[in-house]
Structure 1
Amino acid sequence: MAAASFARQIGHEFARPELLRTALTHRSYGSPNNERLEFLGDGILDCVVADLLYRQFPDLPEGDLSRMRANLVRQETLHQLAQTLNVGEQLHLGEGEMKSGGATRPSILADALEAVFAAVYLDADFAAVHCVISRLYAPLLADIKPGQFQKDAKTRLQEFLQGQKKRLPQYALLETSGAAHEQSFTVACSIEQPPLRTTGSGNSRRVAEQNAAQAALALLEA
């Protein structure tokens, strides 16, 4: 997918296309890269998502809104959005990072998407990036169920199994890979009844366990 097509997919035509290129350039490729843009995009995303939640749920207290925002801006959510946009196909990576699977690594994809948000903001203004983020997050916001959405996947899986008087899941670390500063963990989630085993990956064991639990939940709820 060409950069112009990607820009159309996110809903913004860049007057300064070099900003988009920088947003999609990992530090392993060279300089300029997207580290500073990722920093800015992280703050922009927090602000926009807070605004969207504040307007959508006028009666919810601050604590509930904060937990909802945390779920929406976490790495797992950004990774999923980046995958739907095929961000990995657009990334500029160093040879070593490319060979080690950097184009599919959740942390790299999540950071790149945040950097893209910053690029839109710098290319235009806050209204433009608010529009882009609102459109991308619309399906996620539509699916929010206050109460359930505030709980993480491991908690929801545990409650689901307890409600059916089943044994709790067991988590086991399967693999750790990557350099010390950017490790990737793969964890298995095993359920005795019904017999089920899913896996999840992340840049920490906690994140990997959450992803494995989410995969199990999706199968059980289906």
Structure 2
Amino acid sequence: MKDLKEHIDDVQRKCSYYFKNTDLLLQAFTRKSYSAEHGGENNEVLEFLGDRVLDFYVTKVIAERYGFFKSQTDTYDEQEDNDEYCIKAHRNEQDFTELKKEIVSNANLAKRIEELGFKSMMYLGQSDIDNKVWTQEKVKADLFEAILGAIAIDSDWDPDELQNSVEFMLQIDDQLHDVEDGMDELKENLTQDNAVSTLKELAESGRCSIPQYDIPDEQVYDDGEYWWSCTCYVRSWSIQKTALSKSKKSAKRYAAYLVLCDFFGIEPEEE
């Protein structure tokens, strides 16, 4: 194990924050087992604070990068549309809950502690040494959060310092998936079942106009059977497709799928 006091400047540089009270940084690296044997405070309270800091600022960064008002999109109609707030979808989901969970997960925080080289600088009591706790994911994640808690106290909760440290320590640009250029992923994951939601997602993120669906009240007779018909039209792409199916829902789904297949240039599968 390394003595943190001998590497404190390097640690502060890697946190992108220089402490006025370096005792707080030492506390962030101090496990309860060590303080029980040697006295002083441990990092549990700082970890609690850092957990809240991490959750808030990761959410804030996501909102700043991928949130938008409908008035900012090319498809906004000032006369017809409300100026609502939206966030671009991720992996065909309606929000960024899973992405945020991924970024703040113990696995990801532990990985960053490894990459920063901090795990070998913790102050450990004998029980922790015997159990080799520095190898445990949760212990390393707790250290990450405790460092943020220490920065919060030392900076008097300075929002700029906190957001900078969160982004810098997480290397958040590498963590965030490229939502803007995620068309290949949407194309690869396209199915008939997710076609309506995928088309809605593209419209909400400003990549196409809002799809228009026309489902007549009467069924149509074709090839000896009655079918429900649905026409899907995306004005900004100049694409219109009509589908026939046994239910209104499936007709709408397949019409959206045909539009997307045309847009992506792929051969549609039969319903």
For the aligned pair, the TM-score class normalised by the smaller chain equals: 0.5 to 0.7
- Matches of 1:84 and 1:9 in 2, distance apart? 10
Tell me, yes or no, if structure 1 residue 132 matches structure 2 residue 137: no
2:32 aligned partner, one-letter code: R
* 1:51-89 Cα deviation digits (max 9, x unpaired): 111111123269522221111101001000111111212
Partners in 1 of 2:113 and 2:8 — Cα distance?
Answer: 15
Cα separation, 2, equivalents of 1:140 and 1:98: 35
Deviation at 1:141, TM superposition (A): 4.3
- Paired residue type of 1:122: I
Q: Distance in 2 between matches of 1:93 and 1:24?
A: 9
Q: Deviations over 1:19-56 (max 9, x none)?
A: 00111111111141011111110000000000111111
- What is the match of residue 205 of structure 2? none
- 1:60 & 1:4 partners in 2: Cα distance? 39
**Secondary structure in structure 1 of the residue aligned to 2:42:** coil
Cα gap change, 1:142 to 1:106, in 2 (>3 Å): closer
Distance 1:141 1:56 in 2: 13
Alignment-derived partner of residue 201 in structure 2: none
Q: TM-score, normalised by structure 1?
A: 0.61
Q: How does 1:129-168 map to 2 (within 5 A)?
A: 129-141=162-174, 143-146=176-179
Deviations 1:174-208 (A, max 9, x none): xxxxxxxxxxxxxxxxxxxxxxxxxxxxxxxxxxx
Contact 2:14–2:169 (CA under 8 A) maintained in structure 1: no
If you compute each CA radius of gyration, which structure gives the higher value, 1 or 2? 2
The alpha-carbon distance between structure 1 residues 84 and 123, as it changes in their structure 2 partners (threshold 3 A), is same
Deviation at 1:127, TM superposition (A): 1.7
2:15 corresponds to 1:10: yes
1:2 offset after TM fit, Å? Answer: 1.2
Runs of 4+ in 1 over 3 A off after TM superposition: 138-143
CA contact (8 A) 2:103 2:175 kept: no
TM value normalised by structure 2: 0.51
Q: Percent identity?
A: 24
Alignment of 1:192-211 (within 5 A): none
Q: Distance in 2 between matches of 1:143 and 1:66?
A: 13
Indicate the residue corresponding to 1:56 in structure 2: 65
Pairwise CA RMSD: 2.4
Q: 2:128 & 2:173 partners in 1: Cα distance?
A: 31
C-alpha distance in structure 2 between counterparts of 1:33 and 1:116, whole Å: 12
Of 69, 75, 95 in structure 1, the residue corresponding to residue 100 of structure 2 is 69
- Contact 1:22–1:33 (8 Å) recurs in 2: yes
How far does residue 143 in structure 1 lie from its aligned partner after superposition?
5.0
Of 25, 33, 41, 1:28 maps to: 33
Structure 1 spans left out of the alignment, 5+ residues: 150-158, 160-222
State how far apart, in whole Å, the 2-side matches of 1:133 and 1:42 are: 11
Matches within 5 A, 1:85-104: 85-104=116-135
Structure 2: gaps (5+ residues): 1-5, 68-86, 183-188, 190-271
Return closer, same or farther for 1:113/1:24 CA change in 2, 3 Å cut-off.
Answer: same
Size of the aligned set, in residue pairs, is 149
Mapped partners of 2:174, 2:63: distance in 1? 12
Higher helix share: 1
58-67 or 83-92: bigger deviation: 58-67
